[in-house]
Amino acid sequence: MSMKNQLMRGWFSELSPMWPGVALSLKVEEHLHSCRSKFQQIDIFKTESCGNMLVLDGIIQATEMDEFSYQEMLSHIPLCCHPNPEKVLVIGGGDGGILREVARHDCVKSIDICEIDDEVISCAKKYLPFMACGFEDPRVSVNIADGSEFIKDNQGNYDVIIVDSSDPIGPGEALFQTSFYAGMKTALAPQGVIATQAESFFLHGKIVSNLIRDCRSLFKHAHYAFIFVPTYPGGSIGTCVASDSQDPRHPIRNLPVKVLQRLRYYNTQAHEGAFMLPENARRLFS
C-alpha cells in the first residue's frame, strides 16, 4: 500500500491486510518526515488531534496523545512481577518509550535495547522527544541488531525481557515465532519475566491464541493482558506476560508514590484488571 493511497485530502488512513475492511483515519497538519530505511518505510506526521505520530510501513506505531497507555503497561506489568529486576532487555522499541518507563525503576541497573533499525531511533530523537528521552538514561546501552539473534548470545542474562515489536509482517515477523519465545526463555535469569506485544484478541484471534499456546508450552505461567489504546486497530492491544516463577496477574512490587504520580495509565488496579478478560477472549485461551 503506497503512502499516496493512504494520504487523501489531508487525512492519513491506516490500511492493512491484517485488518481488512477497517481503517483508522487521522487529520494531518504536516508530513514531517518520510524515508525508506533498509527494513521499512518510516513516516512522521503532525496530526491535528493526536500530536506527532510514528508510522512504519503504513501502520501507526505511536501517537503523542495515547502512547503512554501502551508504554506503561508493557513495561510496568513485567517489572512489577519481578522481586528485584536489575538487568532488563528491550527488543524493538526504537522510539524510546519503553526505555523511558523502565528507567523509572531505581532497582534496574542496566537496560539493553536491541533495535534492528537505527533509522527509527534517529527519527524518534528528532520528532518524538517525549518518548526518545528514554535513550538519555545512562543505564541504557543501544545494540543495533536482530533481536532473535541477540538473545542467543545472552543466555541466562536478563531479569526482564520486554518485546516492543511491530505486527508479524515485515521486520517484526521473526518476533512472533515459537523459536524466538524459546530463545527468550534461555536468555532469562532465575525468576525472569517476559512481556511481548500480543496483538488484539478482537482482530487477531488466531495469532493471539497461537502466541499464548506457545508461551504456555514453555512457561509455567503465561497470561494475556489487554491495554486500551484509542489509535490502535479496534482501540486495544495486548501483551503476553510469562514466567516460570511469577504469576504475572498479581504484582509483587508496588511502584513508589512519586513514580505513580507521574504515570497516566498504570496502577495496581489496572495491572490486575488487564488480565480479567471478556468471555470471547477467555475462550481463546481455554
Look at strands 59-63 and 51-56 and give their pairing. antiparallel
The DSSP annotation for 30-54 comes to: EEEEEEE-SS-EEEEEEETTTEEEE
Active site (catalytic) residues: 164
Largest CA distance in the chain: 54
Q: How far apart are CA 104 and CA 123, in angstroms?
A: 23
Grouping H, G, I as helix, E, B as strand and the rest as coil, residue 250 is coil
Closest CA to 119 of 45, 30, 42: 42
The DSSP annotation for 192-227 comes to: EEEEEE---TTT-HHHHHHHHHHHHHH-SEEEEEEE
Cβ atoms of 226 and 201 within 8 Å: the answer is yes
Grouping H, G, I as helix, E, B as strand and the rest as coil, residue 257 is helix
Number of alpha carbons in the 13 Å side-chain half-sphere of residue 110: 8
Number of alpha carbons in the 13 Å side-chain half-sphere of residue 94: 27
CA angle 128, 132, 133 (to 5 degrees): 120
Cβ atoms of 89 and 83 within 8 Å: the answer is no
